[in-house]
Structure 1
Amino acid sequence: MHKLRFLVSRRWIAFALVVVFLAWVAWRLGEWQFHRLEDRRERNEIIQRNEKAGADPVAEVMAPGKTVAETDEWRIVEARGTYAVDDTVIVRYRTRDGAAGVDVVVPLDLSDGSTVLVDRGWFATDNRGATSEDVPEPPAGEVTVTGWVRRDAEGDSTAVTDGSTRAVNSERIGEALGREVLGGWIDLRSESPAPATPLEPVEMPELNEGPHFFYGLQWWFFGALAIFGFLYLIYDEWRGGRGPWGKTRGPQSQRAEQPAVDRKHHARQE
């Protein structure tokens, strides 16, 4: 066991702590990727289940001041009302296939006096300062819409300035428009009657598992590699090789480091 005394040196203890920390970080990152995989699978199941279930009345899912539950996101709802075109809100910086554009959110006034926000789709524009006047108008008069329920975004990007925002938050938009709106918003699926100039439909999320499984395995592999490398260095040091800092160990190496004169003297004595 005396050959392993080097493990209690400060350098080796510090080295071991670094390896343990790196392995722990890799393990946690791998777990995070697998948790994201489970979340994605659950989301895909919800979307597929809601697609088969069909549309529910919007009042059954959304209400003023009510946060949309995670289990209700991507439910399909139906609403009937009149678009408030003058209160159109532009969602900036929405690119598709490298092309610049905006999403167009229009409040829909329902028959019960409430209002729901509808993202009618994407519109290509070269003008980064596009306004509601630059986008095609929705159908006039009473219209029936169906769409997917979405949860509000959060953070500074939800601020509404001059009729535009970077992310949709029903509360922030309602305050800016002076309207009481239903919590959450609707990604348009269809509207009847059809508009004269339709917008590009909403992009649905891909219903695959993504790269999370392989990313998780990669992180765990990196953690295992760090531990294996550390154990190999211990073995190499134990058998007289070079340690992690390039210092030669063992009697043979120490003899190799002796001055040439001492080696000759030792050889004559032999």
Structure 2
Amino acid sequence: MYRFLLTPRWLAAAALAVTASVVMVFLGNWQLHRYHERSAINDRIDAAATGSPVPLTSVLTRPGAPGKTGPNPGEALAWTKVTVTGRYDPAHEVQARGRTVDGSVGFEILTPLVLADGTAVLIDRGWVPPASGGAVAAPVAPPAPAGTVTVVGQVHRSESKPAPIGHRDGRLDTRRVSLPRLAAEMPYPLYGAYLLASSPEPGFTAIPIDHEDAWQNGGYTVQWWLFALMALLAFAWQARKEAHGDTPGAARDRVSEADRAASDRTASDGSAAAVVPAARRPE
């Protein structure tokens, strides 16, 4: 009944169904991997909110030459809560424009904190609104504290999309916090990540840390795996219909077989009729 599955047309359909299913299973596995990655990030965010800070140098690798950054800490260390002590350098302060907090567009103010060993780490001291005159009007931000300060913050990786860096109202001005580019503007080695201040100074709004949407990836995982199963079930359903004669192709095959059978019977009857008269001719 299922001998038709060995025909080229059905072998090609089977290969297509299996290939599609394998691809969709791999896509589902990739989404599952992203689900675990994002869940781990959310766990670190939650742990940092309640955990005790650890020294900066136990998390980030010390940078080398001036004008350069240290190694990128990697995603596994993002949002770790750390503590560091140093002195602010307002002469190399950075304003990152076009930053949105609670639906309002403004600026994040990042000030280098110079450590005792001569290296520095950028501290995102918080968000401030623009001055009157529009969303790009340079903000008025509280000055950085003088003297030695201890800062507690969470590790934020360098933003991957670089942007031009200019000078505006005594600050470095940029759209993206790209540490390799900003390091070239600094007179000291810069750590490969910056810190979001956990307790912003008066006049600043804390930068919210949004959780990753891990459940979206979990839903995509199930969706791709269901698609893979549906591809195989669709092939099996179509093959069953073909086997039971429920498809136009099967109906055409039945008509062709009936026509061939009728032709064979007609040819057979004609041959018999030709033989009988020949047998009755007198010698």
The answer, yes or no, to whether TM exceeds 0.5 is yes
Return the letter of the residue paired with 1:250.
A
- Identify if the C-alpha distance between structure 1 residues 138 and 76 changes in structure 2 by more than 3 Å, giving closer, same or farther: farther
CA contact (8 A) 1:160 1:173 kept: no
1:158 is matched with: 162
Provide Cα deviations, 1:6-49, integer angstroms capped at 9, x if missing partner: x3444333332332222122211211121122212322333344
TM-score, with length taken from structure 2: 0.72
Provide Cα deviations, 1:156-184, integer angstroms capped at 9, x if missing partner: x2244213444333232111334321221
CA contact (8 A) 1:240 1:249 kept: yes
Query: How many pairs does the alignment contain?
Result: 243
**Hey, what's the Cα distance between the residues in 2 that align with 1:224 and 1:213?**
17
**Hey, what's the Cα distance between the residues in 1 that align with 2:102 and 2:108?**
15
Shift of 1:52: 4.2
Partner of 2:237: helix, strand, or coil?
Answer: helix
Do structure 1's residue 236 and structure 2's residue 241 form an aligned pair? yes
2:153 is matched with: 147
Q: Kindly report which structure 2 residues correspond to 1:114-193, keeping only aligned pairs within 5 A, or say none.
A: 114-125=119-130, 127=134, 129-130=136-137, 133-142=138-147, 143-154=149-160, 157-162=161-166, 163-191=172-200
**Hey, what's the Cα distance between the residues in 2 that align with 1:252 and 1:111?**
88
Provide Cα deviations, 1:198-245, integer angstroms capped at 9, x if missing partner: 2x2121232774322222111111111111111101111111122xxx
**Hey, what's the Cα distance between the residues in 1 that align with 2:98 and 2:13?**
47
TM-score, with length taken from structure 1: 0.75
CA contact (8 A) 2:111 2:122 kept: yes
Do structure 1's residue 221 and structure 2's residue 230 form an aligned pair? no
1:268 is matched with: none
CA contact (8 A) 2:111 2:144 kept: no
Return the letter of the residue paired with 1:86.
A
Return the letter of the residue paired with 2:13.
F
- Identify if the C-alpha distance between structure 1 residues 29 and 92 changes in structure 2 by more than 3 Å, giving closer, same or farther: farther
CA contact (8 A) 1:119 1:185 kept: yes
**Hey, what's the Cα distance between the residues in 2 that align with 1:42 and 1:16?**
39
| Backbone CA RMSD of aligned residues | 3.0
**Hey, what's the Cα distance between the residues in 2 that align with 1:111 and 1:146?**
17
- Identify if the C-alpha distance between structure 1 residues 166 and 227 changes in structure 2 by more than 3 Å, giving closer, same or farther: farther
Do structure 1's residue 91 and structure 2's residue 96 form an aligned pair? yes
Q: Which runs of no fewer than 5 residues in structure 1 stay unpaired? A: 259-270
Do structure 1's residue 24 and structure 2's residue 26 form an aligned pair? no
Partner of 1:241: helix, strand, or coil?
Answer: coil
* Range with greater deviation from structure 2 (27-36 or 208-217): 208-217
Q: Kindly report which structure 2 residues correspond to 1:5-154, keeping only aligned pairs within 5 A, or say none.
A: 5=4, 7-62=5-60, 63-64=62-63, 65-125=70-130, 127=134, 129-130=136-137, 133-142=138-147, 143-154=149-160
Q: Which runs of no fewer than 5 residues in structure 2 stay unpaired? A: 64-69, 167-171, 260-283
Say which one has the larger Rg. 2
CA contact (8 A) 2:119 2:189 kept: yes
Provide Cα deviations, 1:71-103, integer angstroms capped at 9, x if missing partner: 433221222333333323233443345433333
Return the letter of the residue paired with 1:115.
A
